[in-house]
Structure 1
């Protein structure tokens, strides 16, 4: 009998008609035997639903599915637990009535499967409580409750605070039932994208253990480098592994970095072309709005410092963009810091897919269509590769000139000094250049370092209140010796860029070769 697929947690995935297994069941066994109440946050399409399916089959004692896997000899297959499984992964719920109907329907399906009935099926909390008690009594085993994408009804309605609040109240009514049934529960597992505060959603379920940042479970969802190379060896023989890692690896939850499974499976199944498979399944419009409204300085997203307490959870009335970006997978942990008596993290993009795609979408969102941001980004790499500094200057001037003054006034962007440098940075990322914002040197920080085909460009940005440049941007690069760390490069360019708040455009764009010896007979290339 052919083994059936049981999901990403022990991973069996169909690729071109075959099964590929990444066995995660050792971690599943550790999870199922070490505790009782768990919560795991991971971005969309990371295998959370298939992990829940695996737990369901495990506790129901479906032994044939696990033969040959790490957990098989360690599990008591004679203990078959009643499982209540609820999922909000599919569909779009847009009212409290729709949410309650979805919950009632799912409870009814679970009741039929377990041969139970609910005397009061109109009261969700009463019905679930009765099901827990009767399932325990009838099956003589404690109950397992699995809830997948617990937060999706809220996240789907974040743009409407009233509806999102109704969804929160409806979900809290459901989840609050669990806190009084310890004697009837063997295992509770909830997954989602975001972590709302316990007071906001779980209403007293204080024994729910959050394993999102538990290093022991950092690789529970996703592929490690070793798993990728071992399990997909036959399909990777002609793949540039360092490039694959740069594009799709890098997600960190205080343990080993992992690949997004969705990216890898589509990469292998669609001709091994490098595309933004995961990003394209859901453009983060709400997050783009938060970044714009919060006037975030975009280069900071590559090195964003945040306290652990801030990163852990949020409420609907307090949703900082950096926290949502982390929880939804657009930022990840790059470094852990000891900040006094608490931990802090440096966040950044997990990989090239996210960095390129997010900045490309930000350009379109932060500028009107008439600015032709996408087309300009396509030109910039060619200009950088040719070190066409005049072309670079003129292209950016045309870009900023193409943004109507009404756009600034309607969006209050004229009060946001970081807007100009943010768009400059986003263009550099979107065009495919290698960028290092806030590039640390022994004497300070370079605003932006850009590398393209053997050339290094050191940029310093200034915003001036007049319509004239004063040369301070280039002068600061030279005075501070910012470019000294790149003096050995074959082609080094020092570039000072000055933006005018009055004209809302570039008024100063000076450059100078930094890799040439400067003598009276051989002055450096320079344009004012």
Structure 2
């Protein structure tokens, strides 16, 4: 680790350029072992997916300054770092022409805007190598295309081959193979998926990347970073020289994020007065391969502020996560309930992400949350052809994401924090009339809340109910446990609110959706009978809840108010 020391440690938050960090004496955690791993890697093309803000850009920048052929002497940047102590690696220092491209800002609402910005980025890349037009190594046709790209008016077909052609030109001039570094390669694909031009984006970027990285004799190394491994059939079709190291792979386990030892050293040098255990609870918990990793963005912010708070989750939109969790059916929401209670869930891991599947395939959804940094995987085992892992929420900061989503959903569905407070008070008081009014509002408002990209998505009452349960779970903590679909007495209740201390009120709810040919009154009677005959209140009596409220609700259509019927008791029901 290198940089300034002591309480005046020059922390740099948001800066990712290696040269700037070093020349300004800013904090730089020595990750240059990453360079050795890349150079020793048998893959000609390497993909390194990691969550956002985990040091991907800085690592690529470090690699660039080490490998790039330049007029100035860059050795002082590396003099006291790990890579410089491996003399065998110096033969690669300053040797190669490097193409550096970042797609971090290519997130546009239309394909035309996306293509225009991409063409602009390619034009800027060509401008860095304008000198190639002066050495007479280009044919007249090649020079014409070069100038089109410089002027940012090249046709799509010429843009698709821009990286491949520039590699060829650079190899001729420098007589050295080329290094291609692409940061956040998947950002345009995410934007395209959200905005509805996914097919056009996939077609273009598949050709752009494939032409540059597949069977390219002018290529020494290609390194790509992003958040996800987009499925091979989508964007890396035919790229047989690609090696992918997801966060499950141990090879680059400590290259991204901070290790325990690095955090302890940083905290000491920054004069952090808090407990390391607090930093660990808030920002630790990730597993990259076999290495326990802290979130680097949050650690730097916490050290700068002198306190732990929510940092990483505020650096990007959680809208897609919100949609995913809300649109799923009952099973995922039961799993989320377990996650929020600190439990793990066993799930298959899908490393090749087809974005369309994350809404349709529950396994793809869990894997998406894992690779985006919202879950961690432990106890990974291969079973037949699949990897199965125990997924859990890594730390307190990420738990706040889930809590925040369901708090927000409940507030919006009910019309504000005051309404949420009113609902919880009504539940704990057994006031069915007030609960009925608020549940009706929740059912009515849910459609507008899930209107995304101009397309309203109908949420059936069952899914509204599951989101309602999760909203209650996070809102009533820590005084109450909120459980759903658990065994109590002789059956499985729908929702139970359990006081953590004896003497507090307890609530059991049974919710029924009216079936075809059934009246609302019949559905309601069935729900109430089920509460009594199955003795759902048994668990509440066991923990000493008092009073115990037993509430039954029936629903007839999404926009129809619940029809209430309840009985409250503190004693065992009459014998049956």
The residue correspondences of 1:34-183 to structure 2 (distance < 5 A) are 34-35=41-42, 36-60=44-68, 62-75=74-87, 76-79=89-92, 80-90=95-105, 92-93=107-108, 94-96=110-112, 97-112=115-130, 119=143, 120-121=145-146, 122=154, 123-161=158-196, 163-183=197-217
Q: Distance in 2 between matches of 1:254 and 1:512?
A: 53
Query: Bigger CA drift: 340-349 or 311-320?
Result: 311-320
Deviation at 1:88, TM superposition (A): 0.7
Unmatched 5+ stretches in structure 1: 514-522
Unmatched 5+ stretches in structure 2: 5-9, 147-153, 449-455, 515-522
Instruction: Give yes or no for contact 2:37–2:252 (8 Å, CA) kept in 1.
Output: no
The residue correspondences of 1:276-315 to structure 2 (distance < 5 A) are 277-295=311-329, 297-301=332-336, 302=339, 303=344, 305-308=346-349, 310-315=350-355
Q: SS where residue 237 of structure 2 aligns?
A: coil
The residue correspondences of 1:110-259 to structure 2 (distance < 5 A) are 110-112=128-130, 119=143, 120-121=145-146, 122=154, 123-161=158-196, 163-212=197-246, 213-235=248-270, 237-259=272-294
Instruction: Give yes or no for contact 2:481–2:499 (8 Å, CA) kept in 1.
Output: no
Aligned twin of 1:403 = 442
Instruction: Give yes or no for contact 1:88–1:152 (8 Å, CA) kept in 2.
Output: yes
Q: SS where residue 19 of structure 1 aligns?
A: coil
* Superposition CA RMSD, Å: 4.5
| CA distance 1:200–1:407, shift in 2 (3 Å) | closer
| CA distance 1:149–1:10, shift in 2 (3 Å) | closer
Aligned twin of 1:364 = 408
Q: SS where residue 85 of structure 2 aligns?
A: helix
* 2:429 paired residue among 390, 405, 420: 390
Q: SS where residue 394 of structure 2 aligns?
A: coil
| CA distance 1:110–1:172, shift in 2 (3 Å) | farther
Deviation at 1:168, TM superposition (A): 1.8
- 2:460 paired with 1:421: no
Query: Bigger CA drift: 319-328 or 190-199?
Result: 319-328
Query: Bigger CA drift: 458-467 or 28-37?
Result: 458-467
Instruction: Give yes or no for contact 2:267–2:303 (8 Å, CA) kept in 1.
Output: no
Instruction: Give yes or no for contact 2:488–2:535 (8 Å, CA) kept in 1.
Output: no
Query: Bigger CA drift: 466-475 or 323-332?
Result: 466-475
Q: Distance in 2 between matches of 1:194 and 1:284?
A: 16
Which is higher, the Rg of structure 1 or of structure 2?
A: 2
Q: Distance in 2 between matches of 1:412 and 1:494?
A: 34
Q: Distance in 2 between matches of 1:497 and 1:262?
A: 46
Deviation at 1:240, TM superposition (A): 3.5
Q: Distance in 2 between matches of 1:138 and 1:294?
A: 55
Q: SS where residue 229 of structure 2 aligns?
A: coil
The residue correspondences of 1:486-525 to structure 2 (distance < 5 A) are 498-502=552-556, 505=562, 507=564
TM-score (norm 1): 0.77
Q: SS where residue 51 of structure 2 aligns?
A: coil
Deviation at 1:322, TM superposition (A): 3.2
Instruction: Give yes or no for contact 1:295–1:416 (8 Å, CA) kept in 2.
Output: no
TM-score (norm 2): 0.72
